[in-house]
Amino acid sequence: MIKEAVSEIQGVLDAYQRLAPIMIHTPVAPSNILGAEKAGEIYLKLENLQRTGSFKARGAYNKLATLTEEEKKRGVIACSAGNHAQGVALAGALLGIRVRIFMPLQAAKTKIEATRNYGAEVILAGETFDDTKRITLEAMSRSGEVFVSPFDDRAVMEGQGTIGLEILQDLPNVDNVIVPIGGGGLIAGIALAIKQLRSETNIIGVQSYQVHGMISSIWRQELVANRSSKTLADGCDVALAGELTYETLRSRIDETVLVEEKDIETAIHYLALKEKVIAEGAGALSTAAILSGQIDHLLKGKRTVAIVSGGNIDFSVFKEII
């Protein structure tokens, strides 16, 4: 049984060894305020303190580090609203691989500038992430570059899964892990690691009412798109989740939560003023789920980790919320 468990997550374990010298083992910080309010132990996994300000650097580096020499020479191409872009750009800089990134026209200026500062070529195209992805794949078919998916890739997903290993190291008896969902790479990777090593831990996924392709797919038990309008959680603005991430997650998720845009604003405000944590919209989704009161029954008397997945919020948006 132990051998089977290790075999299932060998890629995550390999990624952990690969990333350990490069990435930060981010802190799991107790939230005394939320813990007292919800009558349980609540911790924040601060991936906003990761290199590039987001968990995305983990999966991006793991993917680029496992490319063949021939693939590295071809260069890589990716599409992103910002955090995956920075992760791929950083990985390319560290590994000496040429990087070209397509980003939506409405991507945050801070994320565009940061991606360029890491040395990547940035091209703005498409009104939404899904438009940008289509344009990127068309460009890849002409150029021969290696496409680095923001989520629907085994190496990317396994890189994100190293967060699950860190959580179990720091809190071996964790009862709940609350994770933001976009295309599903983060939650699928974490669920893969944690469910294999501690099956009784609840995996709770959170999305906005405005965009919830993965949660809709989980509900319907088939991969479907769902997007009514843009969301403050722009890093999770993915209408159609990945096939690999959906298949990985659908048997490993225990609870789903949808939050209003106002809940996300409240969470950003709360994290900044009460916890002294700067979170972008996607990074605040897990905290929004807690503050919304929808999962109080799961939190009482339990040990819960909420993933703060990123802190790359546009200053003008942050200023308006605060």
**Torsions phi, psi of 261, nearest 5?**
-60, -35
Amino acid at 103: M
- Give the count of beta carbons closer than 10 Å to the beta carbon of residue 322: 10
In the annotation, is 56 catalytic?
yes
Helix (H) or strand (E) holding 76: strand 76-79
Q: Helix H segments across the chain? A: 2-8, 10-19, 32-38, 56-65, 69-74, 83-95, 109-117, 129-143, 154-170, 185-197, 213-220, 243-249, 261-270, 285-291, 296-299, 315-321
**Catalytic annotation, pick one of 38, 45, 56, 133:** 56
Residue 59 tokens read as 């999966």
Q: Are 307 and 54 in contact (CB under 8 A)?
A: no
- β-bridge pairing 99-103 and 121-124: parallel
**Torsions phi, psi of 297, nearest 5?**
-65, -25
In the annotation, is 262 catalytic?
no
Catalytically active residues, by annotation: 56, 309
